[in-house]
Structure 1
């Protein structure tokens, strides 16, 4: 018999590949942080001797969820300004609060709170965009979570950098500092077309090509943003980004609620990925991303929560459900974004957007052992006729019992193993008293 680290034996195994598959009485074999095999449980027990067995008789095991767009440290600004349109929310509430409080300790404490929430909710890979990305990276390493850390760039000064050139320079330094970290990568994160001018965007494209890392940017978030750009330049932001040659298969366009059919076709032709954040879009009344049209054109769609200041949670199970329901209503077709496709967007779609689909996003031999277990024994997920439907339309994040990254348990029987949740909550309370005494 072959000795391995871990044998995972759930009631149902949802590998994501092949599409729509649900395997019963199958085991996941893990060794050295990687998936060795997926095979029937009887064969697994006959071939492998595991040092540990994780028996999950009421659970579905699936790949860890990928949150392809968030602002982790903004968890400390959760609920500070609600029920406002985007520009009012940003200019009159978020930016002043950030100017007053954002610093390394704010970003570390906010990221720690956010990562605790996300791990509890089954998120094992996080694509972050915020100031002091070095702080997010430190907490990601502490938590053991897989992360893509955004090298933020904007034209105006902040506590992190004083100019666009300094943002880029500090980002390059952080990229070099993290290049040997196994679980933490970098991605350029110019904030939006209305906050980053042409010269920095051209530099970012050049460096992205040279370093082989992606670009992650808010694009066409609201009708007002598009109208403002047309009035100022005569061009829609998408057209400007195309002319700057920013678009490509390494580009993640976040939100994308304001699209023409021509722009959808261009997104497909360029291989652009779309980070869909349905709950934030709804709460800020930003608009509806045309997910049915995007997917029909061949565009890869991934899911993000956005930040807790605009959502107000970091619940990717909620985003899956909302994305599926909203896509049907927008398209006028109940067949749009079925449960299997919503799960794909939250797992392999996100991995593909981040260039990590060879490593994570599905439970396939050879990939990293990033997986979660969801307990379906609760009243709200019984009886189980269709596991995929239960996961998307009925299950809640509180039913995630276990979460692993590279074969390491970050959540075990609903207990965080790498983060001190009570300390993170206490620090959040201190920040609340400081921000709104």
Structure 2
């Protein structure tokens, strides 16, 4: 082969195993991922890469599985500073008596900045390259993610009552529209609308959120059917299930992300299927708060896209999506009464491609394919207690923990190298976290 046929590129990643996510249920052996700029130029066998490409950097990962960066589709990043603050309590007690009072005392732009950076450090270190956030001061979260080079869907909060970020729906929607305008079109930041829940947002602001979404294309993420109490109260007060009310208000469409969905019946499934809305499954938070079980297999069988999220560290208590995949797979089997429900490859797809679909970016993210953005992670499977490795997909879901992530790239830029974060100063961050811990602990 002549020199003219050899292509120059930036980075070559040699992988022992590679899970592209598409085609589904596929594990490739001894592959090379070629990165040029912020995109994947090729995914080919190593011998073919030897003949076709010359790169300025080659990374040999002889004991690793390489796969797309994980997409954490729901969380409240800054709540990492409330990790472990009020455990072992029912949802409404946890919110009303502990979390909302703590937020009233401590939430500020500096709290959001430090808590978000703590969350990003944990997520990057455990394989997440894109996250969705719904919390106060979204402009601060967006700037922190952008500065760190991390992709994020940032949902501005919408509630009927005042918070530290605004006096009520009018101000939230006004500031939110400005926020969307500021970040729309960004490669990294995806501005979105975050009506908190049906029980905290009344019809008028909900309808205005729908109109804003239609005007801008911004996605809507909402906590929905999280507990039996929520559904029972809605029926008692309004005579209809929350999903029926939202459907009447026009909330449901293919830009809508419904978080939790532990209390659903066939009418809810039909609404989701007809509208093209997405479900975001947060199994560990739902288990910890005794909220219930999302019937993932039933939704999947109906053709509904189900992605996965951790929720906030205050109700999880970690942001490790590998652990979330494990829990999701285990719970799905019990709920469906079928050991074959939600197999390992499907769980991985939920944390990658399905998240990309919910974001409307599956043409760019969620799989390892030529032309897609180079958001890639590598997981070291050389640990003695991960041996033997018959099926790396099985190990990722059933045996692995996120701390085995050794490398991470976002848009071809290294974020984790040999298990070390490259763009977050962890010692400095820990000093700020300690300061917040002292203040919150003395509340």
Calculate the TM-score normalised by the size of structure 1: 0.99
The yes-or-no answer on 1:6 pairing with 2:11 is yes
Distance (Å, rounded) in 1 between the aligned partners of 2:110 and 2:94 = 24
Corresponding residue number in structure 2 for 1:46: 51
Shift of 1:261: 1.5
Q: Which residue of 2 aligns with 1:308?
A: 313
The answer (yes or no) to whether the contact 2:180–2:218 under 8 Å persists in 1 is: no
- Matching residue within 324, 345, 352 for 1:340: 345
Deviation, structure 1 residue 181 = 3.1
Match of 1:377 in 2: 382
Alignment-derived partner of residue 405 in structure 2: 400
Gaps of 5+ in 2: 1-5
The match for 1:74 is: 79
The residue that corresponds to 1:170 in the other structure is 175
Say if 2:207 is the partner of 1:207: no
Alignment partner, residue 196 of structure 1: 201
Which of residues 422, 438, 441 in structure 2 aligns to 1:436? 441
- Measure the CA separation in 2 of the matches of 1:204 and 1:178: 17
Equivalent positions of 1:196-235 (< 5 A) are 196-235=201-240
For 2:112, the equivalent position in structure 1 comes to: 107
In the alignment, what sits opposite 2:100? 95
CA contact (8 A) 1:63 1:361 kept: yes
Map of 2:187 onto structure 1: 182
Partner in structure 1 of residue 21 of structure 2: 16
Matching of residue 420 in structure 1 with residue 428 in structure 2: no
The answer to whether the Cα contact below 8 Å between 2:70 and 2:351 also exists between their aligned partners in 1 is yes
- Say whether the 8 Å CA contact 1:142–1:419 is kept in structure 2: no
Once residues 205 and 146 of structure 2 are traced to their aligned partners in structure 1, the CA distance between those partners, rounded to angstroms, is 29
- Distance in 2, Cα, partners of 1:422 & 1:205: 43
Give the CA deviation at 1:187.
Answer: 1.1
1:133 aligns with 2:138: yes
Shift of 1:435: 1.3
**C-alpha distance in 2, partners of 1:81/1:61?**
37
The structural deviation recorded for 1:143 is 1.4
Match of 1:273 in 2: 278
Q: How many residues align?
A: 437
Give the match for residue 145 of structure 1. Answer: 150
| Rounded Cα–Cα distance in structure 2 between residues aligned with 1:76 and 1:290 | 31
Q: Does the Cα contact within 8 Å between 2:70 and 2:128 map onto a contact in 1?
A: yes
The alignment yields a C-alpha RMSD, in angstroms, of 0.8
Q: Deviation at 1:180?
A: 4.9
Q: Deviations over 1:323-362 (max 9, x none)?
A: 0000000111001000010000000011111111111100
Paired position in structure 2 for 1:257 = 262
Match of 2:3 in 1: none
Candidates 357, 361, 364, aligned match of 2:366: 361
- Between the aligned partners of 1:15 and 1:85, the Cα distance in structure 2 is 40
Equivalent residues of 1:217, 1:253 under 8 A apart: yes
Report what 2:396 is aligned to.
391
Residue 283 in 1 paired to residue 285 in 2? no
CA drift of 1:153 comes to: 0.6
Displacement, 1:262? 2.1
Which runs of 5 or more residues in structure 1 are unaligned? Answer: none
Q: 1 CA distance for matches of 2:277 and 2:183?
A: 25
CA distance in 1, matches of 2:356, 2:115: 24
**For 2:318 and 2:431, how far apart are their aligned partners in 1?**
18
Q: Deviations over 1:174-216 (max 9, x none)?
A: 1122235321111111100001111111111111111111100
1:134-163 deviation line (CA, Å, top 9, x unaligned): 111111012111111111111110111111
Give the superposition deviation at 1:424.
1.6
Per the alignment, residue 118 of structure 1 pairs with: 123
SS of equivalent to 1:349: helix
Confirm or deny: 8 A CA contact 1:142 1:418 kept in the other structure. no
Distance 1:421 1:201 in 2: 40
Output the CA distance in 1 between the equivalents of 2:392 and 2:274: 34
1:19-71: CA deviation from partner (whole Å, max 9, x where unpaired): 01111011111001100111111111111110111110000000000000000
